Chains A and B, each alone.
Chain A
Amino acid sequence: MTSPSQISAHPDTKSFDVRSIREDFPILQTKIYGKPLIYFDNAATSQKPRQVIDRLVQYYEHENANIHRGVYYLSERASEAYEGARDSLQKLLNAAGRNEIIFVRGATEGINLVASSWGRANLKAGDEVIVSHMEHHANIVPWQLICEEKGAILKVIPINDKGEMNLEAYKSLLSEKTKFVSVVYVSNSIGTINPVKEVIEAAHAYNIPVLLDGCQAAPHLEIDVQDLDCDFFVFSGHKTFGPTGIGILYGKEKYLDAMPPYQSGGDMIKQVSFWRTTFKELPYKFEAGTPHIEGAIGLATAFEYVTNIGRSNIHAYEQKLLAHATQKIAAVDGLRIIGTAKNKIPVISFVVEGAHPLDIGTLLDFEGVAVRTGNHCTQPLMDCFGVSATCRVSLAFYNTVKEIDEFVIALEKVIKKIKS
């Protein structure tokens, strides 16, 4: 079994070598309509390094068995691998204990779990829950539903025309009525990095727990949950170079302990009889049924891979990409960038006068370029900017300056075609 220390991204981890890193990602060699793939849709999902792919194959070839159940060798190996993944992620996220790391299907399930389990037990009529205007629907709808059920009210933090959270307005929303704050760390649509430490500090002055949607943060930023002091943190594995269908819900033990189970069934129970069933402790209380075993292992491998490259290396490189991309894209005739926050990850949403994002995206596909078009599951945010759809470029550490330059040439070509 490959242990964390055996994972190495590439021989030289002191400096960042994007060419060498790209060799780790087999899919980047794909040709689209005869042209090299330029994959600029990382906010939707990330590509997977050979190390993650190989680890999954190894699991299927040598370790696969159901976990926590069998007394035989394979089951023990699988259980060790699964629980080893939990331990690894606990360390990499700097959680205080392994009981605080719950494997879920993804961020959406994580948020639903908290809204449902914490919400049902704690919210009453007249209570308030705060979200921001730039949330992904996954961090709006679960709260809308639980608020409706309980007679609680959803309050929304406004944003400015750059796509930055209005901190002062947020602080004035906080009161004794506020029972929960759930905000996105980094916006998937416009790339804004929110001042989450300040958000958390202000909420904690009222003893209000805070959930951070870390889907776009986990691939790009160092995550230290104790340093952030968030009470819950969710992210999805597939956006962080890991498998699809796996994610993490981190929660401070004091909260998770007090929350009732979310889904029930096998593996989360101590004892079952028809008149009384007792539940297991954390973390298993929230892991009903057979989990995505290889997903968890793959996710830990992906996180280890990224850590080996070096978070600060990645961040520095990505900020260079962002600066270059912003400058070149902004120079395109008739183009307006949506979301110009001071602190961003390399995500650029834009609209072009006289050319619908749908048409731009479709024609760009024929040039080998993959971008996202539409509302990016953030309809309220789009409404704020007065647009129904944008084109979105979202980069990862395996994208290059050359790709950005080629993208801009292709973009200008397709805009010309559409407008002619």
Chain B
Amino acid sequence: MIEMTKKMNNRPISEIQDEIVEEFEFLGEWPDKYEHLMNIGKALPRLPEAAYSEENKVKGCQSNLWMITRTENGNIIFEGDSDALLVKGLVGLLLKVFSNHTPEEILEANLDFLGKIGLQAHLSATRNNGLEAMIKQIKFYALAYKAKMTA
């Protein structure tokens, strides 16, 4: 997964998002989209054991969700995991879009692709909050790293 994101290093976020939208459009019905999301989740590797701490938990989700970050050559690398496959799938999507980019690119990125996939319409408020919480966390990290880097 990390190798994949490294290869996509030079591609702008908007291009990655368009690709994802196309992927989901091709799938059609929501049960198939969900299965695809589940498969993305199943492919997500486990984090190092130490990462599964209270500190790394993202609050606001029906399941447990952990996220860790680090920087590499000015880009932020995100990794995440959850005990629910649906959320893992969402993590996988968000990592595809946001991981291995500069703080500026992350902060500037819009999130239209979520609506285009039909995610916001289909996920209930509870699950949606997990998604929103993750995005907030990613943007927050980007802001923090940006501040650190320009300090």
Q: Is the CB of B34 within 8 A of A362?
A: yes
A243 CB to nearest B CB, Å: 22
Bitwise, B86-107 to A at CB < 8 A (1) or not (0) is 1100000000000000000000
Partner of B62, one of A33, A366, A373, A417: A373
Partner of A358, one of B30, B31, B35, B127: B127
Tell me the A residues contacting B by CB distance below 8 Å: 33, 356-359, 362-363, 366, 373-374, 388-389, 417-418
Chain A residues near B126 (CB-CB < 8 A): 374
A161 CB to nearest B CB, Å: 23
Chain B residues near A362 (CB-CB < 8 A): 34, 86
A389 touching B62 in the complex, CB below 8 Å, given contacts A358-B127, A359-B38, A366-B34: yes
User: Lowest 5 CB-CB distances: which A-B pairs, in order?
Assistant: A356-B84, A358-B84, A366-B31, A359-B85, A374-B62
Bitwise, B105-134 to A at CB < 8 A (1) or not (0) is 000000000000000000000110000000
B83 at the interface (CB under 8 A from A): yes
Q: Is the CB of A389 within 8 A of B63?
A: yes
Listed by A's residue number, 21 A-B pairs whose Cβ atoms lie within 8 Å are A33-B29, A33-B31, A356-B63, A356-B84, A356-B85, A356-B86, A358-B63, A358-B86, A358-B127, A359-B84, A362-B34, A362-B86, A363-B34, A366-B34, A373-B62, A374-B126, A389-B62, A389-B63, A417-B35, A417-B38, A418-B38
Q: How far, in whole Å, are A278 and B26 apart by their CA atoms in the complex?
A: 67
Chain B, Cβ-Cβ closest to A418? B85
A55 CB to nearest B CB, Å: 31
B64 at the interface (CB under 8 A from A): yes
Q: How far, in whole Å, are A356 and B82 apart by their CA atoms in the complex?
A: 10
- Which label, helix, strand, loop or mixed, suits the secondary structure of the A interface? helix
Chain A residues near B87 (CB-CB < 8 A): 358
Chain B, Cβ-Cβ closest to A362? B86
Chain A residues near B31 (CB-CB < 8 A): 33, 366
Chain B, Cβ-Cβ closest to A33? B31
Q: How far, in whole Å, are A359 and B64 apart by their CA atoms in the complex?
A: 13
Chain B residues near A389 (CB-CB < 8 A): 62-63
- Interface-centre pick from A356, A357, A373, A418 (highest chain B CB count, 10 A): A356
Known pairs A366-B30, A374-B62, A418-B38. 15 more at Cβ < 8 A?
A33-B29, A33-B30, A356-B84, A357-B62, A358-B62, A358-B86, A359-B84, A359-B85, A359-B86, A362-B86, A374-B126, A389-B62, A389-B63, A417-B38, A418-B85
- Interface-centre pick from B30, B85, B126 (highest chain A CB count, 10 A): B85
Q: Is the CB of A388 within 8 A of B64?
A: yes
Chain B, Cβ-Cβ closest to A373? B62
Q: How far, in whole Å, are A417 and B30 apart by their CA atoms in the complex?
A: 16
Chain A residues near B29 (CB-CB < 8 A): 33
Chain B residues near A366 (CB-CB < 8 A): 30-31, 34
Chain B, Cβ-Cβ closest to A358? B84
Chain A, Cβ-Cβ closest to B89? A359
Q: How far, in whole Å, are A234 and B85 apart by their CA atoms in the complex?
A: 39
Chain A residues near B63 (CB-CB < 8 A): 356, 358, 388-389
Chain A, Cβ-Cβ closest to B31? A366
Q: How far, in whole Å, are A362 and B84 apart by their CA atoms in the complex?
A: 11
For chain B, residues 7 to 64, give those with C-beta under 8 angstroms from any C-beta of chain A. Answer: 29-31, 34-35, 38, 62-64
Partner of A356, one of B30, B34, B35, B83: B83
Chain A, Cβ-Cβ closest to B35? A417
Chain A, Cβ-Cβ closest to B127? A358
Chain B residues near A388 (CB-CB < 8 A): 63-64
Chain A residues near B85 (CB-CB < 8 A): 356, 359, 418
B33 CB to nearest A CB, Å: 11
Chain A residues near B83 (CB-CB < 8 A): 356
Q: How far, in whole Å, are A356 and B130 apart by their CA atoms in the complex?
A: 15
Chain B residues near A417 (CB-CB < 8 A): 35, 38
Chain A residues near B84 (CB-CB < 8 A): 356-359
Chain B residues near A359 (CB-CB < 8 A): 38, 84-86
Q: How far, in whole Å, are A418 and B64 apart by their CA atoms in the complex?
A: 17
Q: How far, in whole Å, are A418 and B41 apart by their CA atoms in the complex?
A: 11
Q: How far, in whole Å, are A362 and B128 apart by their CA atoms in the complex?
A: 13
Q: How far, in whole Å, are A363 and B87 apart by their CA atoms in the complex?
A: 13
Q: How far, in whole Å, are A342 and B87 apart by their CA atoms in the complex?
A: 36
B21 CB to nearest A CB, Å: 21
Q: How far, in whole Å, are A374 and B31 apart by their CA atoms in the complex?
A: 21
Chain B residues near A363 (CB-CB < 8 A): 34
Q: How far, in whole Å, are A362 and B33 apart by their CA atoms in the complex?
A: 12
Q: How far, in whole Å, are A33 and B84 apart by their CA atoms in the complex?
A: 23
Q: How far, in whole Å, are A366 and B35 apart by their CA atoms in the complex?
A: 11
A362 CB to nearest B CB, Å: 6
A125 CB to nearest B CB, Å: 34
Q: How far, in whole Å, are A356 and B86 apart by their CA atoms in the complex?
A: 9
Chain B residues near A418 (CB-CB < 8 A): 38, 85
B103 CB to nearest A CB, Å: 31
